[in-house]
Amino acid sequence: MKIKAYAKVNLSLNVLDRRSDGYHHIETIMQSINLYDVVQLEKSSNGIQLTCEGIKLPCDSRNIAYKAAELMIKRFRLQGGIKIHIQKHIPVAAGLAGGSTDAAAVIKGINKLYGLNLNDKDLSNIGLEIGADVPFCIKGGTGLAMGIGEEIVPLPTPKLDIVLIKPGASASTKVIYQLYDELKEHVHPDVRGQAEAIIKGDLKKVCKLAANGLEAVTMKICPEVVQAKKALIDSGCEVALMSGSGTAVYGIYRDKFAAQEAYRLLKRNYLTFLVKTIDEESANG
Ligand SMILES: C[C@@](CO)(OP(=O)(O)O)[C@H](O)COP(=O)(O)OP(=O)(O)OC[C@H]1O[C@@H](n2ccc(N)nc2=O)[C@H](O)[C@@H]1O
Ligand SMILES: Nc1ncnc2c1ncn2[C@@H]1O[C@H](COP(=O)(O)OP(=O)(O)O)[C@@H](O)[C@H]1O
């Protein structure tokens, strides 16, 4: 079985209060994009055999795809194992949910391969045990995510042409949330307003309300994020924004030609990707 595991960007992100376990309540618009890892799965007689190519990653229980397989095997007392091969294309520690989407693919794949017949809610609950972004990655498309990311209201998918830059520096999600707590002043993007704009198909407003409460935090410790955002703005995008906890930054362009032109120029100096938004059906196709 071969699964395309898609990356996401956050079109807006508002951090609310901190829970006693350290997690934060958030409101965010999550959006799948057509940048993906390929996750190959095959039943085996026992255990978990994981291999990765493309980007060097641990292939033991430090890999969250491995953790997802371990959880599924234990929880459902599976009589057998799983062979996993990941062709990694999504940059790591970028705010693009690269690990979460691999874990989501493993959970969905094992559900099918072992005929477990788990429904969407079951899959989402299992995903949440692995990480806050996994429930969205299981679903895909466009969604307003609340709670710590697991309460998802599906939205229509805005058609957006995007250029993405991954600066050399990486950011740890945990550290960025911790630093957020230490800030005295926070911005609180209007995520619900952006959800309404998406529903109305008002792309100008979607861009106007694109904002990320974590951006200033990551920018403070990663000047490369500031530089990448400036490069995107200079290339003529409608709006540029950091995704999630960073460090990837993306620009939304008025059409695919403007995006292609910006990509052609930016790729000379940056690790750059030309992508577009995809809906739930495509993300699961
Ligand atoms: C910031 C976001 C926005 O979509 O994405 P990324 O930048 O990671 O892609 C998410 O909230 C990240 O979700 P995810 O990366 O799955 O987080 P997890 O692995 O569950 O948690 C890593 C750490 O981040 C912090 N964390 C995560 C999610 C959340 N709602 N509040 C938090 O405070 C916690 O300190 C946790 O220990
Ligand atoms: N399958 C995986 N793909 C990517 N990163 C992984 C994976 N498994 C574990 N990791 C680790 O998870 C951390 C976060 O990576 P990633 O999920 O790409 O970031 P983000 O949550 O910012 O999108 C990295 O330090 C990486 O080593």
Question: Is pLDDT above 90 for 36?
Answer: yes
Q: How far apart are CA 103 and CA 126, in angstroms?
A: 10
Q: How far apart are CA 159 and CA 152, in angstroms?
A: 20
Which among 137, 154, 171 is the end of a domain?
A: 154
Burial category of 215 from C-beta neighbours within 10 Å (exposed 0-12, middle 13-18, buried 19 and up)? buried
Residues 242 and 267 occupy one common structural domain: yes
Out of 64, 85, 136, 166, give the residue to mutate to test ligand 2, the one with the largest number of ligand atoms within 8 Å of its CB. Answer: 64
pLDDT 10s digits, 47-98 = 999 999 999 999 999 999 999 999 999 999 999 999 999 999 999 999 999 9
Residues 128 and 196 occupy one common structural domain: no
Domain that holds residue 206: 161-283
Q: Is the ipTM of this complex over 0.95?
A: yes
pLDDT 10s digits, 219-239 = 999 999 999 999 999 999 999
Q: Extract the tokens encoding 221.
A: 């410790």
Structural domain total, the chain:
2
pLDDT 10s digits, 175-215 = 999 999 999 899 999 999 999 999 999 999 999 999 999 99
Q: Which residues pair with 36 in a beta bridge?
A: 6
Residues 167 and 135 occupy one common structural domain: no
Q: How far apart are CA 21 and CA 48, in angstroms?
A: 30
Residues 95 and 17 occupy one common structural domain: yes
pLDDT 10s digits, 139-150 = 999 999 999 999
Q: Is residue 8 within 8 Å of 31, Cβ to Cβ?
A: yes
Over residues 238-259, the mean pLDDT reads 98
Which among 110, 127, 154 is the end of a domain?
A: 154
Is the C-beta atom of 37 inside 6 A of ligand 1? Answer: no
Which among 134, 154, 174 is the end of a domain?
A: 154
With bands split at pLDDT 50, 70 and 90, how would you rate the model's confidence at 285? confident
Q: How far apart are CA 259 and CA 162, in angstroms?
A: 6
Active site residue 276: no
Over residues 163-177, the mean pLDDT reads 96
Residues 150 and 100 occupy one common structural domain: yes
Reference 8, options 191, 245, 211; nearest CA is: 245
**pLDDT score recorded for residue 3:** 98
CATH of the domain at 50: 3.30.230.10
**pLDDT score recorded for residue 11:** 98
Residue 47 one-letter amino acid: G
Residues 111 and 197 occupy one common structural domain: no
Residues 31 and 143 occupy one common structural domain: yes
Residues 124 and 147 occupy one common structural domain: yes
Is the C-beta atom of 92 inside 6 A of ligand 2? Answer: yes
Reference 50, options 93, 16, 99, 120; nearest CA is: 99
Question: Is pLDDT above 90 for 31?
Answer: yes
Quickly count: other Cβ atoms within 10 Å of residue 261's Cβ: 14
pLDDT 10s digits, 117-137 = 999 999 999 999 999 999 999
Is the C-beta atom of 9 inside 6 A of ligand 2? Answer: no
Quickly count: other Cβ atoms within 10 Å of residue 280's Cβ: 17
Active site residue 133: yes
Query: Max alpha carbon distance in the chain (Å)?
Result: 56
Q: How far apart are CA 5 and CA 138, in angstroms?
A: 9
133, 139, 161, 166: the active-site residue = 133
Q: How far apart are CA 99 and CA 19, in angstroms?
A: 23
Mean predicted lDDT score pLDDT of the chain: 97
